[in-house]
Amino acid sequence: MTDLRLDGEVAVITGAGGNPGLGRSYALLLASRGAKVVVNDLGVGPDGRNRRAASAELVVQEILAQGGEAIADQHSVAEEDSARAVVQTALDAWGKVDILVNNAGVAILAEFDEISAADIEKVLRVHLFGTIWMCRAAWPHMVESGGGRIINITSGALAGNRYVSIYGAAKGGIVSLTRALAIEGADVGIKANAVGPAGETGALQLLSNMQNPPPELVAPLIAVLAHPDCSASGRYFESAAGRTVLRCWSESRGYINPELTPEDLRDHLDEVMDMTDHVLVADPLENEYSNIIDRKPYQPA
């Protein structure tokens, strides 16, 4: 069995300065397999409030000590120009970007009617907009080079969890974005996948009493999806404690009446919600409805 190598590949990993941290584990493994890594982290810590600072430079030092190649970057992903600067760090050092892992995030645990407007905006800016801006920054360079791999970090919280309504909403948006990018990327050699990880992080240590598995057990999935030979795209994986699964959507057989009325639907709602014979919703690259929009020319605002 040959080792999975990433020699010559250039990877940008955001939010990779925490210890313990998922991003750090991705950076260490990809570097150990030959990738040149931009370790990005703003340094403000998992809650964005400097209560437990992170350090991209310290992770770079770890990589260099193990014989790898890496550089630190401290730009924010939450603004468009700053996200471009993260990618520019890779271009200035190595002339390209092959792999983008959008891992940066902030963790704020609060009830929906308790969380402040400022914290709502912070969560959305870093998680959702940060992923959008980083993908936008890397995309043209991947197109120019003939392809690339985008790995967007999401969360099982998108299915609904207490205290993380806004976080879950952002993570759900990331999965939707990833599926759309896979469709558009298929024409230009870019593959995009989403990963929902679980592992011990500084955020969980700071904000909860939960015990979590080592983050290093998620990193192998990131390495596989980052490899040029991996064909997966538009998929959503969950990974924790050495268990990796593909998460899919399904729909019920439903109820059909071409002359539907509110009363008729009310009387058959149990049938609509019956998942006994459910069917899988097609992945984006296999979905016949993925390209049905016949758009008029785009007019920028």
Q: Which residues are catalytic?
A: 167
Contact 15, 41 (CB under 8 A): yes
DSSP 8-class letter at 127: I
**Strand ranges (E), the chain:** 10-13, 36-40, 69-73, 99-102, 148-153, 190-198, 236-240, 243-246, 250-251, 279-280
Residue 50 CB neighbour total at 10 angstroms: 10
132: helix, strand or coil: helix
What size, in residues, is the chain?
Answer: 301
Is residue 102 a contact partner of residue 14, using CB atoms and an 8 Å limit? yes
Backbone angles phi, psi at 149, to 5 degrees: -125, 125
Class of residue 145 by CB neighbours under 10 A (exposed 0-12, middle 13-18, buried 19+): middle
